[in-house]
Amino acid sequence: MIARRGFLVGALALPFAQGFAARAEQFAGRYAPEATPIGDGIWMVRGADEALGFANGGAIANSVIMASDAGAILVDSGPSLRFGEALGRLALRLTGKPVRRVYITHLHPDHSFGSGAFPEAEVVSLPGTHRELERDGAGFSTAMYRMLSGWMAGTELVLPQGTVNDGEAQFGGRALRLLALGGHSEADLAILDSASGTLIAGDLVFHDRAPATPHARPAEWLAALDRLGAIGHRQLVPGHGPLDTGGTAIAQTRSWLTWLGAALDEAVAGGLDMTEAASLPIPSHLAGMAAARYELTRSVSHFYPGLEAALFPRIDA
Amino acid sequence: MRLFPSLAASAAPAVGPLPADPLGSPMWTYHAGKLFAGAPVVFDPAVRVDLPMLAENQHVLPVTIDARALSAVRRMVLFADLNPIPIAVEYEPLAAHAYLATRIKLDQRTPVRGAVLTADGVWHVAGGWVDAAGGGCSAPPVSRVRGDWADHLGELRGAAWPQGDATRVRIAIRHPMDTGLVENIPAYNIEEVTFAAEDGTPLARMTVHGSVSEDPVFTVLLSPAGRGPVAVNARDTGGVVVTGAVAPRSGAALAAAVRR
């Protein structure tokens, strides 16, 4: 999916490959996102089911491209300017029209940092996402450049220009139902494409890939899953992981979050420290999700100090 | 007759050769020279330094040093070579097991190590590299940004759990742990924590530095398992003293409350 210049150079310079590779500078590669048709005029662009890192150029989130009379519709612009540009070329090739509308499902930079590639399009999000990006965007940018270096070339934070709210929407004759939810972050946008019966869930739903919780509000997230489950759909595009055609991804995400909450409560109450909690066994029905240990370790970091403060009794006189 | 008497006279004092650093740290020789002052040093897998698979938050890196495989441990030092405040905690497990868990701030990618001194005068060292974003020590603490640090200063929480032949005690102290590296905020941190039996006998003692995370949390294993409450005493660099007592059955009560 991603052509890496480092690989090519290493292969061509075989006589020196070993010594060269040991000291080789890491160069960013070229993004080559691929689209899979999942219905009439709708394509899914799969991210790698991995931790965000240099090896994948940050391309870990799923995006969706839809055709409309007014131009292509893109859901989530990816991690960087170059990835956004590659998505734009892909959309033009698939739909015959340039991207004219970009929906950003939530603030996280693997979904929102490619927006600079779409100066001709209207980039929109929920009002909460706009606020969160204003607050955290600069910090994300620093972290993304540190991890992805060359992949980020030219990327600047582009805030959504418009806001959308819960309700029915039309773009270029394509009927969409917008759902203003929250829980994975302060504001999570999910979109139902009526024509194909596709529920584009953003990071409210992870599928065969462990959920990430840096801004999570677990109770609200579970309520959002209930609402998504009640909305009739034929298939679901999760924020991370493969297309869900069997109707299992919502339940799987709920199962992970429910286990995680109980496990961390019990860990704090049982006297474990953070490193011990991050080493807890992951139940077999969840352990197979990609990045499971990685996300548990992150979640311990996100929730543990708060849980200790809430659960430990005061002992000062 | 000596050909080079001056050279022979100026030969270096008998300092044990420092072993090569398996982590290849640029600061190993410097820190080892200061910390160990010529005492024998071995890199020893008997010292376990548990680090998470990633530093999700450079302000809060959990570290556990477990040297229970060694006998007669006198001191345990937690340090990060490339931190501006390298030493985080110096622990004396007086009547405690050689086990300490806490959280530290990281200012960049750095080795994080545990150095454990045994009664025979040998330092046993282990550790690993941790990749971290910058600014752990040079960004203001959350409570400074929120502005409520003084409202909660010194709040002490904790509980105790029986663990085999020991009592596991975990305490959390609300404190900004200012490093002095943030503009206009002078250094201000917890500097000493003591655990003592009911009769005042000290059970464990530690010197704490500004590189320990805001709102520090410590886990120790006291031995032998006491029946009475454990007295906790913490003093900061401003002279504020916080005291409390951990009830021996408090952990069990906590576990029961969460299960309910």
Locate the chain B residue with the closest alpha carbon to A146: B133
SS3 call for A17: helix
Question: Which residues of A are less than 8 Å from B232 in CB distance?
Answer: 315
Which of B154, B208, B195 has its CA nearest to residue B176? B154
Residue type present at position A292? A
pLDDT at A6: 40
Annotated domain spans of chain A:
1-32, 35-246
Residue A134's pLDDT band, with cuts at 50, 70 and 90, is very high
pLDDT at B3: 43
Interface of B with A (CB under 8 A): 50-54, 56-57, 60, 62-64, 101, 103, 133-134, 154-161, 163, 168, 170-172, 215, 217, 219, 232, 242-247, 250-251, 254-255, 257-259
The more confidently predicted of residues B28 and B227 is B28
- What span, in angstroms and rounded, lies between the C-alpha atoms of A160 and A125? 6
Average pLDDT, chain A: 92
Q: How far is A136 from chain B (nearest CA, A)?
A: 14
Residue A93 has pLDDT above 60, yes or no: yes
Q: How far is B187 from chain A (nearest CA, A)?
A: 23
| Residue B196, phi then psi, degrees to nearest 5 | -140, 155
Number of H helices, E strands in chain A: 10, 14
Average pLDDT on B75-82 reads: 98
Question: What CATH number does residue B58 fall under?
Answer: 2.60.40.2470
Average pLDDT on A105-128 reads: 97
Kindly state whether residue B70 falls inside one of the protein's structural domains. yes
Residue A272 has pLDDT above 60, yes or no: yes
| CB-CB under 8 Å, B255 with A269 | yes
Q: How far is A293 from chain B (nearest CA, A)?
A: 9
Q: Name the residue facing A315 among B51, B157, B215 (closest C-beta).
A: B157
Q: Widest CA span of chain A, in angstroms?
A: 72
Residue B9 has pLDDT above 60, yes or no: no
Kindly state whether residue B9 falls inside one of the protein's structural domains. no
pLDDT at B228: 85
Residue A26 has pLDDT above 50, yes or no: yes
Residue B225 has pLDDT above 50, yes or no: yes
Residues 283-302 of A with CB under 8 A from B: 293-294, 297-298, 300-302
Q: How far is A41 from chain B (nearest CA, A)?
A: 39
| CB-CB under 8 Å, B64 with A273 | yes
Per-residue pLDDT tens for A248-259? 999 999 999 999
Kindly state whether residue B62 falls inside one of the protein's structural domains. yes
The more confidently predicted of residues A226 and B226 is A226
Question: Which residues of B are less than 8 Å from A271 in CB distance?
Answer: 159-161, 163, 168, 170, 219, 251
Measured between its terminal Cα atoms, the distance across chain A in Å is: 61
Residue B38 has pLDDT above 80, yes or no: yes
Kindly state whether residue B10 falls inside one of the protein's structural domains. no
- Count structural domains, chain B: 1
pLDDT at A317: 72
Kindly state whether residue B146 falls inside one of the protein's structural domains. no
A interface test, pick of B48, B49, B51, B54 with most A CB neighbours within 10 Å: B54
Residue A28's pLDDT band, with cuts at 50, 70 and 90, is confident
Residue B74 has pLDDT above 50, yes or no: yes
pLDDT at B16: 65
Half-sphere exposure at residue A130, Cβ-oriented, CA atoms within 13 angstroms: 13
CB contacts < 8 A (A, B): 118
Q: What is the CA radius of gyration of chain B?
A: 20
pLDDT at A11: 36
Question: Which residues of B are less than 8 Å from A294 in CB distance?
Answer: 53-54
The CA distances from residue B5 to B12, B13, B14, B15, in Å, are 14, 16, 18, 21
Q: What percent of chain A has pLDDT over 90?
A: 90
List of residues 6+ apart from A121 with CB closer than 8 A: A71, A74, A98, A99, A100, A101, A102
Residue A10's pLDDT band, with cuts at 50, 70 and 90, is very low
Asked if B123 and B97 touch (Cβ cutoff 8 Å), the reply is no
Question: Which residues of A are less than 8 Å from B246 in CB distance?
Answer: 315
Residue A291's pLDDT band, with cuts at 50, 70 and 90, is very high
Asked if B123 and B36 touch (Cβ cutoff 8 Å), the reply is yes
pLDDT at A40: 96
Asked if A278 and A263 touch (Cβ cutoff 8 Å), the reply is no
pLDDT at A145: 93
pLDDT at B12: 37
The encoded tokens of residue A307 equal: 């849980």
Which of B4, B114, B96, B8 has its CA nearest to residue B51? B114
pLDDT at B220: 97
Kindly state whether residue B224 falls inside one of the protein's structural domains. yes
Q: Name the residue facing B156 among A275, A305, A316 (closest C-beta).
A: A316
Asked if A204 and A228 touch (Cβ cutoff 8 Å), the reply is yes
Residue B137's pLDDT band, with cuts at 50, 70 and 90, is confident
| CB-CB under 8 Å, B62 with A273 | yes
Domain that holds residue B202: 23-137+152-259
Locate the chain B residue with the closest alpha carbon to A139: B133
pLDDT at A12: 37
A141 touches chain B (CB under 8 A): no
Residue A140's pLDDT band, with cuts at 50, 70 and 90, is very high
ipTM of the complex: 0.90
Residue A13 has pLDDT above 60, yes or no: no
| CB-CB under 8 Å, B156 with A305 | no
| CB-CB under 8 Å, B159 with A273 | no
Q: What percent of chain B has pLDDT over 90?
A: 79
SS3 call for A81: helix
Q: How far is A316 from chain B (nearest CA, A)?
A: 4
Q: How far is A128 from chain B (nearest CA, A)?
A: 20
- What span, in angstroms and rounded, lies between the C-alpha atoms of B228 and B192? 23
A interface test, pick of B48, B49, B50, B242 with most A CB neighbours within 10 Å: B50
Q: How far is A265 from chain B (nearest CA, A)?
A: 7
- What span, in angstroms and rounded, lies between the C-alpha atoms of B57 and B150? 24
Residue B180 has pLDDT above 60, yes or no: yes
pLDDT at A234: 98
Residue B96's pLDDT band, with cuts at 50, 70 and 90, is very high
The more confidently predicted of residues A16 and A72 is A72
Question: Which residues of B are less than 8 Å from A314 in CB distance?
Answer: 155-157, 244
Q: How far is A49 from chain B (nearest CA, A)?
A: 17
Kindly state whether residue B252 falls inside one of the protein's structural domains. yes
Average pLDDT on B247-253 reads: 91
Which of B176, B61, B174, B54 has its CA nearest to residue B107? B61
Kindly state whether residue B142 falls inside one of the protein's structural domains. no
pLDDT at A216: 97
pLDDT at B2: 44
Q: Name the residue facing A312 among B60, B157, B242 (closest C-beta).
A: B157
The CA distances from residue B37 to B12, B17, B42, B121, in Å, are 14, 11, 14, 11
pTM for the model stands at: 0.91
Fold observed for domain A35-246? Metallo-beta-lactamase; Chain A (3.60.15)
Locate the chain A residue with the closest alpha carbon to B229: A315
- What span, in angstroms and rounded, lies between the C-alpha atoms of B100 and B63? 8
Residue A156's pLDDT band, with cuts at 50, 70 and 90, is very high
B224 prior amide bond cis, ω within 30: yes
